[in-house]
Amino acid sequence: MKLCICLSQDWKEQWLDSLNKADLLELRIDLMFRDEATETEVVEALTPLLIENSHKIILTCRVGKISQEVRYNLFLALLPFAPAYIDLEHDTPQHFREPLHTAAQKYGVKIITSFHHHDATPDRADLCTMAKKALLGGAGLVKIVAHCRDTYDEAKLLSLYREECLTGKIVAFGMGHYGLTSRLHAAASGAPLLYVAADCGAATAQGQPRFTQFTEHLLNVC
């Protein structure tokens, strides 16, 4: 299992220490730069990090503050550095998704297709269907994160690791109160990759444990 530290607005102070600790770094581009930063400024700022460490980088840029078009342009500009992965939400419009899949394939970059359910955890059958559909659509990994109200919701997510066709290709865990425990159970269930926060600064998701906190708990569990 690989551990990925997620970087956001404090990335300039965190990236070197995080790079030495973790297997991968997720660059949350939408959270790393001031609102008025231009596409050129973003690419220029990330270039030194990507030139030497692209094989350890996941590029993620959530739509909201940044538009689909700007994200599309940023990914096209950064894909030639050959990061390990780019993350695309499952509902990314097809006219953006298809060219990015083509460019990713050209540069040997894997796609993470991500699902985020902030209000509730879908039924197990629906979770399986969405994961399998994403793999058929060209995903190298499928990431499913959901708000868990109880251990039953957590169990629905963890059950995905028992699906033979998803082995090594599914990353599923809970957010909020079950952020830590679901990650620990996911690690025990065979998750190929899990996300944690840097040891200082802001987390990028509700319930996201810090690197040292998670690794200490992981040692206790194992």
56 pLDDT band (50/70/90 cuts)? Answer: very high
- 12: tokens are 């300039």
E strand or H helix at 154: helix 151-158
Q: What is the pLDDT of residues 64-123, one digit of tens each?
A: 889 999 999 999 999 999 999 999 999 999 999 999 999 999 999 999 999 999 999 999
- 99: closest CA among 64, 134, 75? 75
pLDDT at 202: 86
CB 201 within 8 A of CB 210: no
With a pLDDT cut of 90, the percent of the chain lying above it is 91
CB 7 within 8 A of CB 211: no
222 pLDDT band (50/70/90 cuts)? Answer: low
- 117: tokens are 């359910």
What is the residue whose two structure tokens read 């953006």?
Answer: 96
CB 141 within 8 A of CB 193: yes
Q: What is the pLDDT of residues 159-178, one digit of tens each?
A: 999 999 999 999 999 998 99
With a pLDDT cut of 70, the percent of the chain lying above it is 99
What is the rounded CA–CA span in Å between residue 156 and residue 144?
Answer: 11
Domains of the chain (ranges, CATH numbers): 2-115+173-221 (3.20.20.70)
* Order of strands across the sheet that contains 141-147: 170-175, 141-147, 110-117, 85-89, 57-60, 24-28, 2-7, 193-197
